Structure 1
Amino acid sequence: MELTPILSAALDAFYEKGFHGASVREIAHRVGVTVPALYYHYESKEGLLVALTELSTRDVLTRAHAADDAGEDDPARRLENVVSAIVLRMTDRARLAAVEGEARYLSPEAYERYRTVRKGIENLVLGIVRDGNRADAFDVEDPAETTRAILGMCQAIPRWYHTEGKLGPQAVAAKYATIASKMVGVEQH
């Protein structure tokens, strides 16, 4: 997923200064356009944030569904695949994922759209956990809380992950998939 120059500049500004700290003038300056030209493409600063959060969450949801499908009927493989896909997305585009924290500044209507997509990711993982319990592949007392714990650990990645760090994206994804498997009671071999 390639960002337009305007969205790339907005991402950098929001990441560095937060939504309220970044100005439309600064974003326009970063991309080399006038403020009216920026407003031609996005009606407001919130419009930029909406575009970034929607790109980010829809991308994660699309990747998670594809990973789930690749796991076929094996709940353990499905969970590992989905967690790996989420982690790879978080490490690949950590700055974009981090900007999702600014979603609290969205209008109620935009926030509801954002929340709906986030809920889609949660429902996907919850379905896998419940399927694993029904198949006796998992041993989870509270599927909803376990799902939130799994997703919470994945959502924290942008706070600490840096490309120059000790672990690359594949290693982080493998570790998190193992942790998620242990959380649902899958025996490790």
Structure 2
Amino acid sequence: MTAVDAVPTDFDWRTYPDPPIAPILAAALTHFQQDGYHGTTVRKIAAEVGLTMPTLYYHYGNKEGLLFALLDIAMDDFWAHGHACLEEAGTDVQKRFENFISSVALHYTHRRDLAMLHDESRFLGPDFRVKYLERRNMVNEVLEGLIKDGVAEGVFDVDDSHLTSLALLGMLGGILDWYRDKGPLSAADIANRYTRYAVRIVSKPAAA
């Protein structure tokens, strides 16, 4: 059982209603998307939501605090869906793998605005960065564990589960480079296709 299995949930992991984001954070998210982390000023965010600078600093400390709060929302949302997809699959090791791959792909499509901030985590200071990486690194740990489970049960044929997990996450992360919500493929279509690609990578070769 993975660490994320300890998180309870009771919703359909394939659905993505708007996450609860406070107005201050919603404004920060918009400016981070438009201007980048360094191009965004706290003064501009405060003015947009009608707050004084001291009030904003009271709630989030500084711009780094705003970024961390948004990344925390992104990871909360990811793990809620991640746990639910594993729970639905039960003990079926291939289904658990397929669902988890799909949930990562859906995070990068349905939550693209938040997911784009993962790269901005490099601007976090040491304390915030450690907290964030603990949660983000768990994604690889869970996926690697699912691959190992598949190998142990004779379902997958993988020599290096760690490198394979990193390669799969790299492939999935590429969705952010090209996905647009007005494109020809729906988020579900993309998740299904990437899941099929992932299964091919870890599956045993077909008998000659």
Pick from 136, 141, 149: which aligns with 1:118? 136
Identify the residue that residue 182 of structure 2 maps to in structure 1.
164
- Comparing 145-154 with 62-71, which one deviates more in the overlay? 62-71
Is 1:38 matched up with 2:56?
yes
Pick from 191, 195, 201: which aligns with 1:173? 191
Encode CA deviations 1:68-100: one digit per residue, 9 max, x unaligned.
Answer: 222122221111101111111221110110011
Contact 1:95–1:158 (Cα < 8 Å) also in 2? no
SS at match of 1:164: coil
* Misfit runs of 4+, over 3 Å: none
CA distance in 2, matches of 1:63, 1:25: 34
CA distance in 1, matches of 2:170, 2:76: 18
Relative to structure 1, the CA distance from residue 105 to residue 183 in structure 2 (aligned partners, 3 Å threshold; closer, same or farther) is: same
Encode CA deviations 1:135-168: one digit per residue, 9 max, x unaligned.
Answer: 0100111100110111112222222211111111
CA distance in 2, matches of 1:143, 1:17: 38
Matched letter for residue 104 of structure 2: I
Matched letter for residue 151 of structure 1: L
Q: What does 1:17-28 align with in structure 2 at a 5 Å threshold?
A: 17-28=35-46
Contact 1:64–1:85 (Cα < 8 Å) also in 2? yes
Contact 1:15–1:95 (Cα < 8 Å) also in 2? yes
> How far apart are residue 187 of structure 1 and its match?
7.3
SS at match of 1:80: helix
Relative to structure 1, the CA distance from residue 34 to residue 117 in structure 2 (aligned partners, 3 Å threshold; closer, same or farther) is: same
CA distance in 1, matches of 2:188, 2:204: 21
TM-score, scaled relative to structure 2: 0.85
Identify the residue that residue 94 of structure 1 maps to in structure 2.
112
Superposition CA RMSD, Å: 1.5
Identify the residue that residue 162 of structure 2 maps to in structure 1.
144
SS at match of 2:21: coil
> How far apart are residue 122 of structure 1 and its match?
1.0
Matched letter for residue 18 of structure 1: G
CA distance in 1, matches of 2:204, 2:52: 55
Encode CA deviations 1:121-146: one digit per residue, 9 max, x unaligned.
Answer: 11111110000000010011110011
CA distance in 1, matches of 2:79, 2:139: 6
SS at match of 1:165: coil
SS at match of 1:154: helix
CA distance in 2, matches of 1:89, 1:118: 13
TM-score, scaled relative to structure 1: 0.94
Structure 1 gaps of 5+ residues are: none
> How far apart are residue 44 of structure 1 and its match?
0.7
